[in-house]
Amino acid sequence: MSANPREARVVRAVHGRSQKPADPAYQAGLAEELRQSYGRAGLIELYGRFATGDGVVDSLMRKAIWQAITRRCGAGLQVAGGAGFKHPETFEIGDGVFIGAQAYIQGRFDGTCVIGDNVWIGPMAYFDARDLVIEDSVGWGPGAKVLGSTHTALPIDVPIIRTDLEIKPVRICAEADIGTNATILPGVTVGKGAIVGAGAVVVSDVEPFSVAAGVPAKFIRWRSENDPMTNMSREGRS
């Protein structure tokens, strides 16, 4: 008898279980040579030649250019085709990070963008990375977004787009999971091990080891009532 085609399957994770990747021995030297030879403006122009291809050379050059142009970049970076950046000199990237196709990280010249170890960023994600920290082992769903600033909209007789920007830090704590097409608004902290549901609009902090979903996002449940880490986080608030 064949299996029910509508029945869910459970398979092993790939990115989250991978061993710490090693770069080719020559990659660090290539990144340093690119840095010395091209400078920041030249590297951004060079990146355009390799931004969208799927071949070995394109993938290698994307990695090497990210390593050359960022403030810090660990081993094992994977950058899929079409991924882009603004002000990458403000980025600090850990080991084993995956950046999906057409994802875009928009830094600010005086900002901070920290991405921890073993972070997986899905295709078409967007980060307004003016004051952003994503800690280790975060999963970021396709199309999910961070907004790091908003216009003050004051005074009211001035077009909103001309009013000052208020930048607020966004923090995504370790082991959290952000669902497809979710939006994280300025000033929000998503706690350790929390889950944000697909399509959620997160306007306030999410508790560690909780599940939040909806528009605006609200607490749904604890991940596990019997999870000792969840109980510890709850006790810490009492």
The pLDDT of residue 234 is: 43
Query: pLDDT at residue 7 above 90?
Result: no
Burial 202-230 (b: 16+ CB within 10 A, else e): beeebbbbbbbbeeebeeeebeeeeeeeb
Q: For residue 5, what pLDDT band results from cuts at 50, 70 and 90?
A: low
Q: Which of 15, 35, 151, 168 is catalytic?
A: 151
Digit-coded pLDDT (tens) for 40-86: 999 999 999 999 999 999 999 999 999 999 999 999 999 999 999 99
- Say if CB 116 and CB 138 are below 8 A apart: yes
Query: Would the pTM of this model clear 0.85, i.e. be above it?
Result: yes
Query: pLDDT at residue 225 above 80?
Result: no
Joined together, the tokens standing for residue 199 give: 């399509």
Query: What is the length of the chain?
Result: 238
Determine the Cα angle at 40 with ends 148 and 172, to 5°. Answer: 25
The pLDDT of residue 132 is: 98
Digit-coded pLDDT (tens) for 131-158: 999 999 999 999 999 999 999 999 999 9
151 is catalytic: yes
What separation in angstroms does the CA of 102 have from each of 5, 180, 215?
32, 15, 25
